């Protein structure tokens, strides 16, 4: 079976400064959700990823992640925000 990913085209979406300000808090939240799920599945911190022992080096607070790991979370958040807008939804602060 051949799989061809077709993400939503967000190339024309521009994020406002107000929406961009959400990026860091949403990235931190995304990491916390991921970590919470891992921990509830029995994973713990380990110096390197070991699926058999359920150890992962990123089971640390967001602030202690490397910039590379933080950038992964930021990118996913930005792409999600852009996809929401590309689908015609509005994001407004009450």
The span from the CA of 77 to the CA of 26, in Å, is 7
65-69 average pLDDT score = 97
Q: Write down the pLDDT at residue 94.
A: 83
Task: Give the pLDDT band (50/70/90) at residue 2.
Answer: very high
CA 24 to mean position of chain CA atoms:
10
- Angle in degrees, CA 16, 91, 72, rounded to 5: 70
Which domains are seen in the chain, by residue range? 17-86 (1.10.490.160)
How, if at all, do strands 55-56 and 44-45 pair? parallel
> Taking 90 as the threshold, does the pLDDT of residue 12 lie above it?
yes
What percent of the chain clears pLDDT 70, i.e. is strictly above it?
100
60-71 average pLDDT score = 97
């Amino acid at each position: 079976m051949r799989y061809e990913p077709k993400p939503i085209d967000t190339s024309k979406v521009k994020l406002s400064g107000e929406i961009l300000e959400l990026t860091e808090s949403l990235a931190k939240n995304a990491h916390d959700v991921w970590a919470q799920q891992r921990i509830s599945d029995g994973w713990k911190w380990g110096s390197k990823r070991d699926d058999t022992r359920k150890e992962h080096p990123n089971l640390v607070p967001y602030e202690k992640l490397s910039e590379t790991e933080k950038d992964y979370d930021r990118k996913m958040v930005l792409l999600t925000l852009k996809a929401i807008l590309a689908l015609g939804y509005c994001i407004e602060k009450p």
